[in-house]
Chain A
């Protein structure tokens, strides 16, 4: 019997987002029509969000293995070894659609969600980073509103929970006007033995839900299943906006980590999309067991919830764990200490079935495999687009403007100006590990031992990690394969500037509707570029997230793969800085730099469409340049190091001057385009001349002016003011 024969089932599964074909597969697999609770569970588990049905096959192309990988993709977060028996777990995730509806809560709960993924694997969160995309702020009050509220939401959650927000990136392009991107990355640390799996184990063990009460949050789409007729008043009871409660999550985090420290849990899992259904079924699937859950045992925020609502509620700040029966009292004791509500809601069985009970009576029964593994995975039909993905826009700077005018316009532009008005809303120092915070270096640097614990032992190296997050939709649009690869190189370049060597990558693939052939092509090309660049640099991908269907009536967003990278440096005391510091230091260019204007910030300000491609890069040269910079920083040969990124070489030099509050005299190599870009390949370093041996010297640090010989001089204070005001001018209550 197929879906077409089931007149009332048919409408429902379609409204729940399942195709007729998928519904047929379900009916075949079950040997019967699913009931309401079952249909609700299946429709969510077979959604794009949970099943990755349009991306899973492509993701298999990513390199996921390496000597430092402790946990690869598949768990809540991947993890790499950083020595001293320590693991670093990290992951980036999108919260785009909720943030477009309610930016403060959407962004806040995005941070809350990614933090739960980190402590679910047993790691204490030690850093948050964010990657944000909005429409053009100058033209769009809505983009300014989204920016302001999303930033406030991220700060609210991260600051209140006591995890430092140490880095991020923000870009503005018209394609994000209706579909902003809010990606959040979290990084955590754990001793190896505390890394925890979510696989449910031990038939007869109990399943315990702890944390916030379960309400009707996020039920939205599935409310077609509600048995009662919907009245307006009922509708108001089905909130789709989830409210973040960082205070609840702080207690949940401390409680979870204490439970793991005391070795009381067999497994641990966070509740995210699709709530209890997804967490419990994935735990069961990974453990190869069955589960039984009684919804009457779930503590509710609203008394009259139906079983399907309880099973798919997306209420925040909840965790699920599996506990041996004799340890339950001790687990409840720890929960009580942290004032975290906990309830035994079910048990692990050997049936391979996910059974849902209401007061002991069966209301749903599904094979775990059907829920978790049997959703069909689709092949895409990639086809290159017939028209350019990025076509340029309004002109803001004359193409024949003099170099100083152009430099000033770039420094003050929304994409390049200082992010200070944003990052001042984030606490970057809580937990006492932050050796480099925003605008001090190209990547954040976090000491592994807490710094203030260091008593006296000043001569020992302090192992540290560096973290960076990057993306560039416009350049990926010019060439998805080369653009995605370039993002990886740029991220690694940021790490090199602090002296760090990359250990692992996480990624968030933000794209449009993959059922459109040209979007499928963008996705496929970008994944190939990403995979290739990771292989080139020997950095495995340990996790990530995919966000598809980022579209508005005007079409898809620019293809926006966002890369988060974690690296290690042997000694935090030698961590690099980006600002020039010592008058008399020479300035050198490191790397093979072949700047071009297609897809660059200057092309954007000129309003020009790309005519060609991104610069062709030599992988060997990139590796050599990164290594030269990394070693120079580690050996303290360089006073400063900064990669040449958006805006080109003059912008990079101006940023070094602004960060250090000191000028420079520069002789630009003949024929070098001062505003062309070639991301991830080249660096500006400064240091005493004997330390820069073998490098092409292009200038000297000193005075209060930036002098570009033969072209212009300008006071650093003037550049600094322009750079500093660019974004605050666009934010309403900026001081």
Chain B
């Protein structure tokens, strides 16, 4: 299976996401100006500060040429994972409901947080244990949606690092093929850095893709 990781000007966690994905499959970087998704099975919109996060996090990146292809890919049922800035971009371009607002304490926060997986019935979480330890790092991570949404991850009680509505840390779209989360699973794939819990999200995707496209 093959992952494609998008690189915008200002993306920071692209190589991290690529290397994390490479532990379970092939992984290539996709350039923001190219429309060709190179036949990947999963698109990852990674973390960082695309276009400096100027104006609003994710506001400018959503208009990159590659995003037109990603939107089309998602509408055709392709699997899309948005991490942190990627989550913000997916909300801005309407693939996911809601928006991310500046943290209630107004500061950047890095913290290892505990997450409850509240929906295992998604291609992104089927192999996850009930609880994950994964770092967050962001200034704009307070999830807000006026409509009900399909929540997949919540910050464990008392662990909400940003004032997010109902402790929401990650949501899927109605079709279940687009997932956005603020925590960084690609930074929890090696025991040496503290946790391997994030790997279970990449493994879930491998399982899901394996079921969809029978290996030849």
Contact = CB atoms under 8 A, between A and B. Distances in A.
Q: Do chains A and B touch in the complex (CB under 8 A)?
A: yes
Interface of A: 152, 155-156, 159-162, 245-248, 250-251, 338-339, 423-432, 434-435, 447, 450-455, 462, 572-573, 733-735
A157 to B, nearest CB: 11
B48 A451 contact: no
B137 A429 contact: yes
A160 B192 contact: no
Contacts of A424: 109-111
B5 to A, nearest CB: 12
The residue in B11, B48, B107, B135 that gathers the most chain A C-beta atoms within 10 A of its C-beta is B107
A339 B9 contact: yes
The residue in B16, B184, B189, B193 that gathers the most chain A C-beta atoms within 10 A of its C-beta is B193
A431 B105 contact: no
B211 to A, nearest CB: 23
B77 interface: no
Contacts of B187: 429-430, 432
B23 interface: yes
B135 A245 contact: no
Interface string B91-105: 000000000000001
23 contacts: A152-B107, A159-B108, A161-B49, A162-B12, A246-B52, A248-B52, A251-B9, A425-B107, A429-B135, A429-B187, A430-B13, A430-B16, A432-B15, A432-B20, A450-B15, A450-B16, A451-B190, A451-B193, A452-B19, A452-B20, A453-B19, A733-B105, A733-B106
Give the dominant DSSP class at B's interface: mixed
Contacts of A159: 49, 108, 137
A425 B109 contact: yes
Contacts of B12: 160-162, 250, 430
A733 B192 contact: no
A733 B106 CA distance: 8
A455 B22 contact: yes
Nearest to B199: A452
Contacts of B15: 431-432, 450
B10 A251 contact: yes
Interface string B1-34: 0000000011111011001101100000000000
A452 B16 contact: yes
Contact of A572 (B51, B53, B54, B192): B192
The residue in A156, A159, A161, A573 that gathers the most chain B C-beta atoms within 10 A of its C-beta is A159
B4 to A, nearest CB: 17
A425 B111 CA distance: 9
A30 B157 CA distance: 73
The residue in A156, A429, A431, A462 that gathers the most chain B C-beta atoms within 10 A of its C-beta is A429
Given A452-B189, A454-B190, A733 B107 contact: yes
Of all A-B residue pairs in the complex, the 4 with the closest CB atoms, nearest first, are A247-B52, A162-B12, A452-B19, A160-B49
Contacts of B111: 424
B203 interface: no
A451 B107 contact: no
B193 A247 contact: no
A735 B16 CA distance: 29
A452 B107 contact: no
Nearest to A254: B9
Contacts of B41: none
Interface in B111-157: 111, 135, 137
A189 B72 CA distance: 39
B105 A435 contact: no
B186 interface: yes
Contacts of B110: 423-429
A412 to B, nearest CB: 22
A247 B55 CA distance: 13
B52 A245 contact: yes
B61 to A, nearest CB: 12
B58 to A, nearest CB: 14
Contacts of B105: 733-735
Contacts of B109: 424-425
A162 B48 contact: yes
Contacts of B10: 160, 247, 250-251
B9 to A, nearest CB: 5
B182 to A, nearest CB: 13
Nearest to A247: B52
B108 A432 contact: no
A735 B142 CA distance: 15
Nearest to B107: A425
A251 B48 CA distance: 13
B49 A429 contact: no
Nearest to A248: B52
Contacts of B9: 247, 250-251, 338-339
Given A160-B53, A450-B15, A455-B22, A432 B106 contact: no
B80 to A, nearest CB: 21
Nearest to B135: A429
B96 to A, nearest CB: 23
A256 to B, nearest CB: 14
B192 A435 contact: yes
A338 B33 CA distance: 11
A319 to B, nearest CB: 17
A162 B48 CA distance: 7
Given A247-B10, A435-B192, A733-B107, A452 B53 contact: no
A451 B192 contact: yes
Contact of B186 (A426, A452, A455): A452
Contacts of B19: 432, 450, 452-453
Interface in B170-184: 184
A564 B109 CA distance: 26
Given A155-B108, A733-B107, A435 B52 contact: no
Contacts of B23: 452, 455
A161 B13 CA distance: 10
A425 B192 contact: no
Contacts of B107: 152, 425, 733
The residue in B111, B184, B187, B192 that gathers the most chain A C-beta atoms within 10 A of its C-beta is B192
B52 A447 contact: no
A111 to B, nearest CB: 14
Contacts of B51: 247
A431 B186 CA distance: 10
Contact of A434 (B13, B106, B193): B193
Contact of B193 (A161, A423, A432): A432
Nearest to A462: B192
A429 B16 CA distance: 10
B79 to A, nearest CB: 20
B132 to A, nearest CB: 16
A450 B192 CA distance: 11
A96 B175 CA distance: 54
A156 B13 CA distance: 16
B54 A247 contact: yes
A154 to B, nearest CB: 10
B42 to A, nearest CB: 17
A152 B110 CA distance: 13
Contacts of B49: 159-162, 246-247, 250
Interface in B33-92: 48-49, 51-54
